[in-house]
Structures are given as C-alpha cells and as structure tokens.
Amino acid sequence: MNITIDFGGTNIKIGLVEAGMVAAKKSIPAHSAGGLGSRLPDVERSVHELLAKAGVSLQQCSGIGLALPGIVDSKRKQVLSAIKDKYTDAAGFDFTHWTNSAFSLPLAMENDARAALIGEAAYGAARGAKDAVLVIFGTGIGTAAIMNGAIVRGSHYQAGILGGHLATDIYGETCLCGNVGCLEAQASHWAIPQRAGKIDGFSSSALARENPLGYEGVIKAYAEGDECARQLMDDLILHWSAGIVNLIHAYDPEVVVLSGGLMKSAAYLLPRVAERVLALAWTPWGTPRFEVAEDPEISVMLGLSHLLCEARRP
Ligand SMILES: [Zn+2]
C-alpha cells in the first residue's frame, strides 16, 4: 500500500493506493495562499485518519508520494520553483525530513501534471502509448509529456510541464510566470475574469453576473446564448487549440490526454478543439488520438504510486 498526497491549489487530496487501485481517499481544503508549512499538521492528521478508516497500519505502507504544482526536482525531492500565491514556502522545504519524521516511509515527489500523465500512461487514457502529452485544465493549465516511453523531465526538471507557458499571443496578457501571452494567461480558469472584462458589452452580459467567473460560468452563459460568452468561448477555443498544436509540434505524441474540470464539457468542447488542432498541426504521419482522462484526481494518485513501485524495483 502506498500513501499519496496531491497538494492542489484548492484541495489537498490524500489517497491510499494498492496495485493500481485507489483503496481510500480523502480531501481537505488547501488554503494554498497561506503556504505549505501551516497545512502539514492537518495533512499528517488526515493521513492517519484515512489509514484508520481503511483499517491499514502505517507499517503496512511501503512509501509516500507527493505531487505539487511548480518545478519539482524528483531526484533530490525538492520544489525548485513554486507557483505565485500557491505554497510559496514549498521552494527549499525539506520534504524528506518531514516525511521521515511524520511517517518513516520512502518518499517519491513529482510535479502534479507529470504525476497525472504517469498515472494515465500506466493505467488510464494513455495506456500503452510510447509518446503522449497531457493537458490539465485546472485553475492554471498544467502539461506533461512522455517520449519513447519515458516521462520527459529535462536537465532542470522543467521540460514538458511548462506547456501552459508557451505563448499563444505575443501581444497578450502578462502571465504570473513573467512571460507575455502564455496559454495560461490567455485561456486558463484564473485568466477568465480579465479576458472577459475586455469584451464589449461585458457589464451587461450574463458573464458579469457570475461570481467568481471562471470556466463554468462561461460555459453556462454560452449555453444560454449570451453574445459576450460566445465571443469569449470562440477565443478560448483558438488558444486551447494553439496550445495543443504547440505540444504536438514539440513532443510528437500519438495520444493527447485532456484532463481537469473543464473536461466535464468535453462532449461539446472536444470536437471543436480537435477539429482546429488537426487542421493546423503538422503531422504528416497521421493524426494524434484525443482521450479524456476519466478522473484527474485518481490519475495523480496512481502516478505517484507507480513512481514508488518503480523506485522499489531492483
Ligand atoms: Zn506564463
């Protein structure tokens, strides 16, 4: 049995994973703007509560896996660079010391999107694929890539995961990362209020009545026939598609896995995005397959557990 903890921006999701199956899970509020250190006593208590509820002792567990946003050095078990306003004290934090003293278990650590793709490749939507990319539409836009059957990390652990920070408009919005016109600054959940506010007629549109305004509000207003929402949706589809084309050109995947809350509307969105991506991408060999991840939370848990099992292999 492995313990997994996914430090998301909104919730911290704790899981117990055995043989590619989630045996038990629990979620607690993240309060990520308040930092990581102040949440750890609650996390530790919640892990023990979950173990007790599942009837599993700490001695029956073989490892603990942590997923975090930002740039994660999976070898030295460090966060090299945190995301602005989310667990900013995670950079430089001694995770090995914490997991040793709290649980006395071997540790695996990974960026959250990378962990999700590892899970999808081992058990889910990208199973069997040697080359795959994943895009998670959460608060931000996370990405990851697998090439030749191996997760892409790069020399500084930032390869594959910065797809949300490939520009889709060089004249666009300033991003949290310091770049301009990143996919995330143009078309992520957090970017919606700023983008919507610039559309003519916004103040009298259905979008203005949504608080907070994000993906769900845009989809709802669009379904109601709101003109402002239609303009914004058309624009978002152009940016999401451009972002996916960038990933296809960079990593040559056979499968594109789409994940995150936005994919609740995949039945409507995916055909429009796929049509544009396939019209624009340069793939003389054929066309990449699009898959929707069944459950983004579970894929991170399975990915972390898979990393722990791999690390134990002789
Ligand atoms: Zn950026």
Neighbours of 58 (CB within 10 A): 15
Residue 19 pLDDT grade (very low, low, confident, very high; cuts 50, 70, 90): confident
Angle at CA of residue 97, ends 93 and 102, nearest 5°: 115
Whole-number Å distance, alpha carbon 54 to ligand 1 midpoint, is 40
Ramachandran assignment for 283, one of left (phi > 0), alpha (psi -120 to 50 degrees), beta (any other): beta
- DSSP letter for each residue of 120-168: HHHHSTTTT-SSEEEEEESSSEEEEEEETTEE---TTS-TTTTGGGSBS
Whole-number Å distance, alpha carbon 94 to ligand 1 midpoint, is 26
One fold for both 2-116 and 127-293? yes
- DSSP letter for each residue of 192-259: HHHHHHTSTTGGGSGGGG-SS-SHHHHHHHHHTT-HHHHHHHHHHHHHHHHHHHHHHHHH--SEEEEE
Whole-number Å distance, alpha carbon 84 to ligand 1 midpoint, is 11
Whole-number Å distance, alpha carbon 44 to ligand 1 midpoint, is 32
Whole-number Å distance, alpha carbon 183 to ligand 1 midpoint, is 7
Task: Note the pLDDT of residue 67.
Answer: 97
In the predicted structure, residue 9 carries a pLDDT above the cut 90: no
Whole-number Å distance, alpha carbon 66 to ligand 1 midpoint, is 24
Please, what CATH class does the domain formed by 2-116 belong to? Answer: alpha beta
Whole-number Å distance, alpha carbon 52 to ligand 1 midpoint, is 41
In the predicted structure, residue 137 carries a pLDDT above the cut 90: yes
Whole-number Å distance, alpha carbon 43 to ligand 1 midpoint, is 29
**Locate tokens 């995949």: which residue?**
266
Whole-number Å distance, alpha carbon 257 to ligand 1 midpoint, is 21
Report whether 139 contacts 128 (CB < 8 A): no
Whole-number Å distance, alpha carbon 135 to ligand 1 midpoint, is 15
pLDDT in tens, 31-44: 988 999 999 999 99
Whole-number Å distance, alpha carbon 184 to ligand 1 midpoint, is 6
Report whether 112 contacts 142 (CB < 8 A): yes
Q: Tell me the domain boundaries of the chain.
A: 2-116, 127-293
pLDDT in tens, 39-88: 999 999 999 999 999 999 999 999 999 999 999 999 999 999 988 778 98
Whole-number Å distance, alpha carbon 185 to ligand 1 midpoint, is 6
Whole-number Å distance, alpha carbon 239 to ligand 1 midpoint, is 14
Residue 309 pLDDT grade (very low, low, confident, very high; cuts 50, 70, 90): very high
Cα separation, 120 vs 92, in Å, equals 29
Whole-number Å distance, alpha carbon 167 to ligand 1 midpoint, is 8
Of 14, 48, 62, 57, nearest in space to 307 by CA: 62
Whole-number Å distance, alpha carbon 162 to ligand 1 midpoint, is 8
Whole-number Å distance, alpha carbon 246 to ligand 1 midpoint, is 14
Cα separation, 312 vs 175, in Å, equals 39
Whole-number Å distance, alpha carbon 141 to ligand 1 midpoint, is 10
Whole-number Å distance, alpha carbon 175 to ligand 1 midpoint, is 4
Percent of the chain with pLDDT over 70: 100
Residue 159 pLDDT grade (very low, low, confident, very high; cuts 50, 70, 90): very high
- Write the CATH number of the domain with boundaries 127-293: 3.30.420.40
Whole-number Å distance, alpha carbon 42 to ligand 1 midpoint, is 31
Whole-number Å distance, alpha carbon 3 to ligand 1 midpoint, is 32
Whole-number Å distance, alpha carbon 163 to ligand 1 midpoint, is 9
Whole-number Å distance, alpha carbon 240 to ligand 1 midpoint, is 14
218-247 average pLDDT score:
97
Whole-number Å distance, alpha carbon 190 to ligand 1 midpoint, is 12
Whole-number Å distance, alpha carbon 191 to ligand 1 midpoint, is 11
